[in-house]
Structure 1
Amino acid sequence: MLLRLPTSVSEAQECLAEGAVPVGGATLVWAVWQRDGFPASAMSLRELPEANVIGREELGAAVVLAGLDGRVPDVLRRAAATVGTGAVRRTATVGGNLAGSALRCLLPPALVLDARARVLHPAGVRETGLAEAAAGRAVLLGVHWREPVAAAYRKLPGVDGGAPPLVVASALHDGERGPRLRVAVRTGYDVLSEGVDRGNGAGDALAALRETPLGGLPPVAWKAVREQVSGLLDRPEGR
């Protein structure tokens, strides 16, 4: 297998056009390739500057999970810190987790940040929603968002051999019509995300969330949402 390492977007486009298979840290596909056979060529974005940015409002797809530190919002950093082992986090990438993993551990935090994705097609780069990026229909270059006023993250303990652990993430944003709360919940392999006005505090926000699909969550999941939203919104200035 030939591993190609483009250093520009145009070079990455050429790789795609020539049939190179996109790969992140290979933590998810290596065993499959060993079983089913390796492709003739693969493409990694680890040398592409656009895929390696990291900051308060943007994150490249080639950044490894262990690289998420104080430069990114805490809700993303805490989510990345719960993925696998230290060895996995030093190899697995943001793009691989968002677009290649069935668990998509970074997806709830990215959704509550109201992130947008930059994706690469053979014809060029364009911006899209996270749904397309998470579905793996294009090569993810990175995500960007507007920094929230406050955010929170919680991953409940899982059961060995059971369903993936419950994840709840939330973020409060300043909006043109007032503060707005976004909440995302991973139950099993499904991720639900909704946004509501903050209103006069946690009580108003929770009542509004009850009217969304999140209101149909199992009791244990709704309890986690209620506790997190109350902690996020009822502290001074939502901080």
Structure 2
Amino acid sequence: MLLRLPTSVSEARHCVAEGAVPIGGATLVWATWQRDGFPEQAMSLRELPEANVIGPETLGAAVVLHRIDERVPEVLRRAAATVGTGAVRRTATVGGNLVGSSLRCLLPAALVLRARATVLDAEGVREAGLAEVTAKGPLLLGLHWRTPLAGAYRKLPGEAGGPPPLVVASALHAEAGGGRSLHVAVRDGYDVRDDSVVCDGGAAPALDALRTTTAFGDLPAAAWEQVRGQTTDLLAAAEGA
């Protein structure tokens, strides 16, 4: 297998056109390749500057998870810190987690940040929503978002060999026209759902409104209690800040 390491977006585009298979840290595909055979060409973005940025409102797809630190919002930092073991986090990348993994541990945090993706396809570099990224698996270059007022993240303990543990993420945003909104995302099993509501009236009306949304109307009671507790604490802390 030939591993290609493009150093520019144009070179990366050329690699894709020639059939190179994008990989992150290869933590998920290596066993499959050993079983089914390796591709002729693979491509890593670890030498591509655009895919290695870390900042308050941006994160590159080639960044390995253990490098995600206080430069990014706390909700995203906490999400990265709960992925796998330390050894996994030193190898797994943002892009591999969001595009190559069925667990997508970073997705709830990215959703509540209202992140947008920068992707590379046959037409060049463009912006895409997270729904397209997770459904179609384009070549992800990075994420960008607007800094929230506050955020929270929790992954409940899981059983070895059992279903994915419940994840609840939330973020409070200032809206351009004034006021605030609450965005919540939940991973329940392999299903990830999210929605946002206006929250200028406090936690109780915001939670009532959230419970009537399509995303959260049928959320199981145990998961809803986690949402209720987290968002109540988040809004209380924001009021006291």
Q: Which residue of 1 aligns with 2:218?
A: 216
**Counterpart residue type for residue 150 of structure 2:** A
**Alignment deviations for residues 166-197 of structure 1 (CA, whole Å, 9 cap, x no partner):** 00000000002410110000000010000100
Q: Secondary structure at the match of 2:96?
A: helix
Q: Distance in 1 between matches of 2:240 and 2:65?
A: 28
Q: TM (normalized to structure 1)?
A: 0.98
Unaligned runs of 5+ in 1: none
Q: Identity of counterpart residues, as a percentage?
A: 70
Asked whether the 8 Å contact 1:150–1:232 carries over to 2, the reply is: yes
Q: Distance in 2 between matches of 1:123 and 1:17?
A: 11
Q: Distance in 2 between matches of 1:236 and 1:163?
A: 33
**Counterpart residue type for residue 222 of structure 2:** V
Q: Which residue of 1 aligns with 2:151?
A: 151
Query: Deviation of residue 137 (structure 1)?
Result: 3.0
Q: Which residue of 1 aligns with 2:236?
A: 234
Judging changes above 3 Å, is the alpha-carbon distance between structure 1 residues 136 and 41 closer, same or farther for their aligned structure 2 residues? Answer: same
In the alignment of these two chains, the number of paired residues is 239
Asked whether the 8 Å contact 1:23–1:43 carries over to 2, the reply is: yes
Q: Secondary structure at the match of 2:79?
A: helix
Query: Deviation of residue 238 (structure 1)?
Result: 6.5
Q: Distance in 1 between matches of 2:136 and 2:2?
A: 22
Q: TM (normalized to structure 2)?
A: 0.97
Q: Distance in 2 between matches of 1:19 and 1:177?
A: 48
**Alignment deviations for residues 86-124 of structure 1 (CA, whole Å, 9 cap, x no partner):** 010000000000111000000000000000000011220
Asked whether the 8 Å contact 1:14–1:122 carries over to 2, the reply is: no
2:192 is the alignment partner of 1:187: no
Note the aligned Cα RMSD (angstroms). 1.0
Judging changes above 3 Å, is the alpha-carbon distance between structure 1 residues 137 and 160 closer, same or farther for their aligned structure 2 residues? Answer: closer
Q: Secondary structure at the match of 1:161?
A: coil
Q: Distance in 1 between matches of 2:149 and 2:240?
A: 7
Q: Distance in 1 between matches of 2:95 and 2:224?
A: 29
Q: Distance in 2 between matches of 1:120 and 1:128?
A: 10
Q: Secondary structure at the match of 1:135?
A: helix
**Alignment deviations for residues 51-106 of structure 1 (CA, whole Å, 9 cap, x no partner):** 00001100000000000001111111111111111010000000000111000000
Judging changes above 3 Å, is the alpha-carbon distance between structure 1 residues 87 and 80 closer, same or farther for their aligned structure 2 residues? Answer: same
Unaligned runs of 5+ in 2: none
Query: Deviation of residue 219 (structure 1)?
Result: 1.1
Q: Distance in 1 between matches of 2:154 and 2:237?
A: 17
Query: Deviation of residue 136 (structure 1)?
Result: 4.2
Query: Deviation of residue 234 (structure 1)?
Result: 1.8
Q: Distance in 1 between matches of 2:58 and 2:240?
A: 23
